Structure 1
Amino acid sequence: MNIKRILKRLIEEKFSLAFIFTRLIMKLGVSPPFVFKTNGIKLKLHPSAITMELFRKKYSIDYDKFIIDRFVCENSICIDVGANIGHLSILMAKKAKNGIVIAIEPQFRIFKFMIENICINNVNNIFPLNAAIDEIKGVKKFYSLANADDQSSFVINMHKHSNFKEEKVFAIRLDDLLQAFSFSKVDFLKIDVEGAELFVLKSLGEFIKNVKYIWFEFIEENYKKFNYTKKEIFEFLTLNEFSLFFLNDKKKIQPIVDITEIKDDFMGNLLAVNNKYKNYIYSNPCAE
């Protein structure tokens, strides 16, 4: 145990009781019988990175909520790839009251937390799925980070991370999944898979033409772990007749004409819009 490092962190956090409490929960791996509210949803106080950050108000989902509120409609079919504890899936489900949300999370421990969160929010239109999404289906190695389970992935930097657990997960293609559900379209697709975003998109195959809106994590540092660049994902979406948009600090949706407009150190999400639905993004997407 590095006492100096712990003391430095405590000083940085100004000996916050909330910080100490959440660190104890993470260290012990226990789930106290508490529920807290954030962004209009309830969450159980589970020992997970995102739960702790939301509880301490150190992690914001304001942009996610803005996009969900705008582009998810009452009858929407939504897919949440990398659903984690289900916080965004629940927001989608509350908006798509007569629709459905497929919430996909590969980490079994986090998946169980998601199930509990779904139950306490009394939403019955979420279908949870414990699996990974990839271009190539099959059983794969997946690395879960002990103190940063929101950064778990198929690929890990073992020089940077030493405290991780390797588990086997079953990976499926999105087009196979959507065919199994007999979906003819997807209204809203959210992707947060720590760098494997391009492979999730490729797993759609020809079905990508039937997806309206894609809200995906855009971090080139993560893409590099999988040996591709931001230019490649931009070109893939453009080739499949999607236009990219950026949500600025004032929550204004701005078009991206050239990928060089996005700085290399950008860490956030972009919105990809099927060109057939571009005319709706500045009006009312739910009025189409």
Structure 2
Amino acid sequence: MKKLKVKKRQFKIKLRKKILGDHAKGVIYDTENGMILAPIDDYTIGRHLGFKGGWNISEITELLEYINEDDTVYILGTHIGTLLIPIGKKCKTIIGYEANPDTYGYVSKNVLINDLDNASVFNYAVGDAEKKISFYKNTLNSGGSKIKPITDSYLYSHDNPDTIEVDMIRLDTHINTENLPKPDHIIIDIEGAEYFALQGMQDILKDVKMLYIEYVPHHLKNVSGVSNKDFIDLIVPHFDNVRFVGQKKEMDISTSSEDFLAYLDTLYANEKADDLLFTKSK
């Protein structure tokens, strides 16, 4: 993101705060996602909700094709709840994890605003161990908040995020400790920490029907510091098919993952992101 563009966004946020007053913290939007309370200084999602009336609606529509009313859905990286709220209205149980304490506050309130009584949300990062980790708390795009990258970039620190300490859990352990229902579906959008989260859920992943996960080459390289093969080795043993949502491309990975890896390497070389949807054959 260019510095001039960042400064322009920061100026617009200051103007917004001046109009609404020093004590205004959030704005409620009536959207296709539900009633969504969003922070005033989050320019990215707030502007979209206000002017477009929704966020990632096509993504939600795609996911709901795989989810039914008896299912339990886990969302890792709930942000303020634009996925959790509409999906929670269509399933039996929805469980979310949000590492950023600020956005956790918003998603918790959005659960209440939307009378979503089948939802539980936890203020944890999800990873490979129970421990404290360093975390970037971004402002202009709070959805871009992430565990502190192994290799930093202006992409991650352009708005001078606060570095805080948050608690991380292993999903396999947390489900057993809290006696939570096991997931039928898992949705992961945690800005580069996907590899670590996958390491900590290998037991439950065996029985998951659908895994939806963000794939961003620079996240894999800089935040996790791993290769495509490292990444897919944690997924391929548990699923038979993969769909590249943006590319509208499907592959059978039940017999060989070589073509899948080769295609990911092409995306990686071209710095092209996509969402990957993994399923099992019926």
Cα distance, 1:24–1:158 mapped onto 2, change above 3 Å: farther
- The amino acid of 2:90's aligned partner reads K
C-alpha separation in 2, matches of 1:139 and 1:113: 22
Cα distance, 1:117–1:20 mapped onto 2, change above 3 Å: farther
> Which of the numbers 258, 261, 266 marks the counterpart of 1:259?
261
Aligned pair count? 262
C-alpha separation in 2, matches of 1:59 and 1:235: 35
C-alpha separation in 2, matches of 1:239 and 1:26: 50
> Which of the numbers 188, 207, 210 marks the counterpart of 2:207?
210
C-alpha separation in 2, matches of 1:207 and 1:7: 41
C-alpha separation in 2, matches of 1:46 and 1:78: 25
Q: Given that residues 248 and 254 in structure 1 are in contact (C-alpha distance below 8 angstroms), is that contact kept between their aligned partners in structure 2?
A: no
Q: Does 1:221 align with 2:218?
A: yes
| 1:58-73 matches, cutoff 5 A | 60-73=55-68
> Which of the numbers 114, 117, 126 marks the counterpart of 1:121?
114
C-alpha separation in 1, matches of 2:65 and 2:200: 26
**Offset of 1:22 from its aligned partner?**
5.5
Q: Partner residue of 1:143?
A: 136
Q: Does 1:152 align with 2:149?
A: no
**Offset of 1:7 from its aligned partner?**
11
Cα distance, 1:231–1:22 mapped onto 2, change above 3 Å: same
**Offset of 1:186 from its aligned partner?**
1.3
- The amino acid of 2:172's aligned partner reads D
Structure 1 length as normaliser, TM-score?
0.79
Q: Give CA-to-partner distance per residue, 1:4-25, whole Å, 9 cap, x none.
A: 9379959xxxxxxxx9865634
Q: Partner residue of 1:16?
A: none
RMSD over aligned CA atoms reads: 3.1
Structure 2 length as normaliser, TM-score?
0.80
C-alpha separation in 1, matches of 2:22 and 2:171: 33
Q: Given that residues 220 and 229 in structure 1 are in contact (C-alpha distance below 8 angstroms), is that contact kept between their aligned partners in structure 2?
A: no
Q: Partner residue of 1:14?
A: none
> Which of the numbers 238, 241, 244 marks the counterpart of 1:240?
238
C-alpha separation in 1, matches of 2:58 and 2:136: 28
Q: Partner residue of 2:255?
A: none
- The amino acid of 2:60's aligned partner reads K
Structure 2 residues not aligned, in runs of 5+: 253-258
**Offset of 1:260 from its aligned partner?**
2.6
Q: Partner residue of 1:284?
A: none
Identity %: 20
- The amino acid of 1:239's aligned partner reads P
Cα distance, 1:34–1:197 mapped onto 2, change above 3 Å: closer
